Amino acid sequence: MLMFSFIIRLKKITEGMKIQLFGISKDIVGQRELALPNDPSLQTVMDLKKWILHQYPRMGNLSSIGIAVDLEYAEDDQPIGQAKEIALIPPVSGG
């Protein structure tokens, strides 16, 4: 039972998860959302950033890339497994 729930949890990490895109990141990807692959190596915010940079090298030209998990700026070592909502935050420019 324990083993079973562990597997479920691992699988859940990225399955069906979509990253919301805004501003220039939306233009680079060409859509409003980015579906994550079912890849158990995507555990933390840093893993996610590396994956995005690998998929879309132009993101590397931006001044910064932030990740928001459940509407809060997230640290690189933060796990993303339990996230309900993830967004990529390119450099902000409100005001």
Partner 1 sequence: MIHIKLVDNIVLDEAYSYLQDPEAGGMDLFIGSVRNHALGKDVVKLEFEAYEPMAISEMKKLAQQAIEKWPLKKVLIIHALGEKQVGEPVVVIGTSSAHRQDAFESCRFLIDELKMTVPIWKKEYFTDQTVWVNAHP
Please identify, using beta-carbon distances, which residue of 46 and 62 lies nearer to partner 1: 62
Q: Does 67 bind partner 1 (CB under 8 A)?
A: no
Of 20-39, binders to partner 1 (CB under 8 A) are 20, 22-24, 27
For 21-90, give the secondary structure using H, E and C.
Answer: CCHHHHHHHCCCEEECCCCCCCCEHHHHHHHHHHHCHHHHHCCCCEEEECCEECCCCCECCCCCCEEEEC
Q: Does 71 bind partner 1 (CB under 8 A)?
A: yes
**Residues in contact with partner 1 by the rule CB under 8 A:** 20, 22-24, 27, 61-63, 68, 71-73, 87, 89-95
